[in-house]
Structure 1
Amino acid sequence: MKIVITGACAVSSRNVLRSLKMSEKFKNATFIGWDMCSILYGVYSHNFDRMYKVPGVNDPKYREVIQKILDDEKPDAVMVLPEVEVLYWSKHPFDIHHLVPSPEFCELAISKRKLFNILKGTGLVPLSEDLSRDAAFDINYKFHLEFPMWVRDASAGTASGKGSFMAHNIRELRAWIEINTGIDNFQISEFCPGGNYGVLCLFEKGKLLKLAIAERLEYIMSKVAVSGITGNTSKGRFLNNENIKKQALDAIHRICDATNTIMNGVVVVDMKADANGIAKVTEINIRYVAYNCLLANAGFNLAEYHLITTLGQSRELSPELEIQFPKNNMWLRDVDALPIYIENPKNLGIGEYV
């Protein structure tokens, strides 16, 4: 069997590959990667059997180059992973097994502004408003939110906490906007001080097949980001929580209803709990998160389930929607190190050892 993974140099794609190599069903497959190859570690780590350099989806040559690779390699399926590429394939599919959401869902979910506008007034998202650079410095502009507030880049497909900051007053807000010269449009929202969650979901033809909830606790190199959020989690855990699940699925279903579409593929609902502990949706990602392979370590191989479904074999999936994780579990990630999943971690005292 031959499988293509797109965006193959990125951390999340390399972790999908790691998950598939852990699968009894796919561990002996040939894995082909393609990417723009700007992340050189992904090029020279030689995790894939072959790595192709391809143009970005906005390049006129993208389709020609991709079609030639497909014609030459003749893969059994393509795992389309980066958000901009998922959006392209949803609009302009190739004649090969792949599984992505509808173009209408992708267009809406990839835009924080559109997503929040659709879910406004439902209680599913934090109170928010759009803020242009000019408006932020207009002394007559009336803010409808109270400080402290969360500010972030409102551009479509933004990741890794770009432009994120908690502003305690108007001076901090304007200073942050002033130094982030590469961002013209921001989103400001109520600050949610509670837990930080990711709800990973796999759908086929509107049916939810698999679901898992992760809580992000700490971030890699968090001290280098003013917000403390770098987009790459260093410490987390897996949860079973019906309220978080209900909120996440409600948001997905509302977006499907608003776009008159049926859900397909993998989506990750990012959530942050407000002051009352209620998880609010901050993003719906049409892509994997970077720590996805830790699910496979915990016995829930989402990438395997996704590929099985992509191949049209979802009837082979085990029937459970989710698994029950041990209440005391933890996973760890670090630079230049393999991720670690731990059940019942021990809190070491001085002089103790493991």
Structure 2
Amino acid sequence: MKILVTGAGAVLGQGIIKSLRQSTLDCTLIAADPNPLSSGLYWADTAYRLPFAADPAFGDRIHELLDRERPDVVLVGTDVELSYFAAERHRLEALFRTHVLVSDPRVVAIADDKLETARFFESVGLPHPASACAEDRDAVEALVECVGFPLIVKPRIGARSVGVSLVRDRAELAQALEGRIGLVVQECVGNPECEYTASALVFDGMVQASVVMRRDLRDGNTYRAYTGDYPELNEQVRTLGEALQPYGPANFQFRLDDRGIPRVFEINARFSGTTPLRAMAGFNEVEMCVRKLLYGTPIVQPPVRSGVILRLLDEMFVPRDRIDAVR
């Protein structure tokens, strides 16, 4: 089989490639990214350059690449490309006889915007941090009166904790909001010792498998993960997945409140940067999804190894001729 992974320079894209390399799939791996110095390109069998997703030429280049390589599966490895593939999924699948693993535009839009994430959970009656649009000062004031401080101020659209502020009083809140737009103000739930990342795989309207890991963060990314069964939290994650109804994977990031209830502050309507960590624990969600798409193989909840996953730096040398050969 041939598998195309976009976003080979992103943590997500590289994680998908790592998961494929850890799997038992016999696949030819095609990687694509705008930057020829993206390391994921050089883990693949074939590498291509793409325009940035905002470039008007992006769609034409995707058509050209799919027509040339005819991959069996397309896996999207960066957030900025999700909207395009979500809107074009059925057309691309029909034109190029491939499978594009991406959720529909509704799910992508909910996950992309942290205020819309909170509104979604409110609409379906599931726990979430109390939230307010920063531009609605009456709503922000009501939030302060309801939950008090500390609060979290963050971009509605963003990742890796960029632009996130913990504010402890009204002065810090005013400072965090000054001169900025597109923000959400949220209740600060729990503490860093009770933060989790989880994945659910949803097909045919049902959660087929799920996994939960407690995590430690550094610079917005998971750098230690604690794996195990977490049966009660997995049950909650399955409820979240069935409410959201993604196509394939969805990642939920949450903290436990003082009653031990998970309150989700972020959804990724895709695989996540911790996907290869889950594969190391026996939950290779990329392989399970590919087998489901290509062969109709039922997804069966695998046992998850209990332990700690430690992330580390690594390096690779790439000869100049390989870089020059990226098309």
TM-score band, normalised by the shorter chain?
Answer: 0.7 to 0.9
Whether the 8 Å contact between 2:202 and 2:242 is mirrored in structure 1 is no
Whether the 8 Å contact between 1:215 and 1:237 is mirrored in structure 2 is yes
1:243 matched to 2:232: yes
Whether the 8 Å contact between 1:148 and 1:191 is mirrored in structure 2 is yes
CA deviation string 1:248-281 (max 9, x = no partner): 333333334xxxxxx4111101111112322101
1:212 matched to 2:211: yes
Which residue in 1 is equivalent to 2:314? 336
Flag structure 2 segments of 5+ consecutive residues without an equivalent. 317-327
Which residue in 2 is equivalent to 1:5? 5
With over 3 angstroms needed to count, the CA separation of the structure-2 counterparts of 1:18 and 1:272, relative to structure 1, is same
With over 3 angstroms needed to count, the CA separation of the structure-2 counterparts of 1:268 and 1:141, relative to structure 1, is closer
Whether the 8 Å contact between 1:82 and 1:287 is mirrored in structure 2 is no
Distance 1:91 1:174 in 2: 38
With over 3 angstroms needed to count, the CA separation of the structure-2 counterparts of 1:330 and 1:141, relative to structure 1, is closer
With over 3 angstroms needed to count, the CA separation of the structure-2 counterparts of 1:277 and 1:265, relative to structure 1, is same
* More helix by percentage: 2
**TM-score, structure 1 as length reference:** 0.78
Distance 1:97 1:170 in 2: 50
Deviates more, 1:196-205 or 1:169-178: 169-178
**TM-score, structure 2 as length reference:** 0.84
CA deviation string 1:202-238 (max 9, x = no partner): 1222122221111112x33xxxxxxxxx221111211
Distance 2:304 2:68 in 1: 43
Distance 1:2 1:336 in 2: 27
The aligned amino acid for 1:36 is: P
Distance 2:156 2:33 in 1: 25
Q: What is the root-mean-square deviation of aligned Cα atoms in Å?
A: 2.6
Whether the 8 Å contact between 1:130 and 1:188 is mirrored in structure 2 is yes
User: 3-state SS of the aligned residue for 1:46?
Assistant: helix
Distance 2:252 2:243 in 1: 13
User: 3-state SS of the aligned residue for 1:166?
Assistant: strand
User: 3-state SS of the aligned residue for 1:4?
Assistant: strand
CA deviation string 1:57-113 (max 9, x = no partner): 332211111111111112221112323322321211212212222222222222212
Listed as ranges, the matches of 1:138-287 within 5 Å are 143-144=144-145, 145-155=147-157, 158-178=158-178, 183-194=180-191, 195-217=194-216, 219-220=217-218, 230-256=219-245, 263-287=246-270
Distance 2:172 2:12 in 1: 33
2:278 to 281, 291, 295: 295
| Number of residues of Structure 1 aligned to a counterpart in Structure 2 | 305
Distance 2:315 2:128 in 1: 35
Whether the 8 Å contact between 1:20 and 1:304 is mirrored in structure 2 is yes
Whether the 8 Å contact between 2:134 and 2:185 is mirrored in structure 1 is yes
Whether the 8 Å contact between 1:216 and 1:236 is mirrored in structure 2 is yes
1:130 matched to 2:126: no
Flag structure 1 segments of 5+ consecutive residues without an equivalent. 221-229, 257-262, 339-354
User: 3-state SS of the aligned residue for 2:154?
Assistant: strand
CA deviation string 1:176-213 (max 9, x = no partner): 334xx6x5122112111241111111122212222111
Listed as ranges, the matches of 1:36-115 within 5 Å are 36-37=34-35, 40-42=37-39, 46-93=42-89, 94-95=92-93, 96-115=98-117
The aligned amino acid for 2:28 is: T
The aligned amino acid for 1:250 is: T
The aligned amino acid for 2:118 is: F
Distance 1:292 1:141 in 2: 38
Distance 1:10 1:87 in 2: 16
User: 3-state SS of the aligned residue for 2:100?
Assistant: coil
The aligned amino acid for 2:230 is: N
User: 3-state SS of the aligned residue for 1:116?
Assistant: helix
With over 3 angstroms needed to count, the CA separation of the structure-2 counterparts of 1:32 and 1:151, relative to structure 1, is same
Deviates more, 1:146-155 or 1:115-124: 115-124
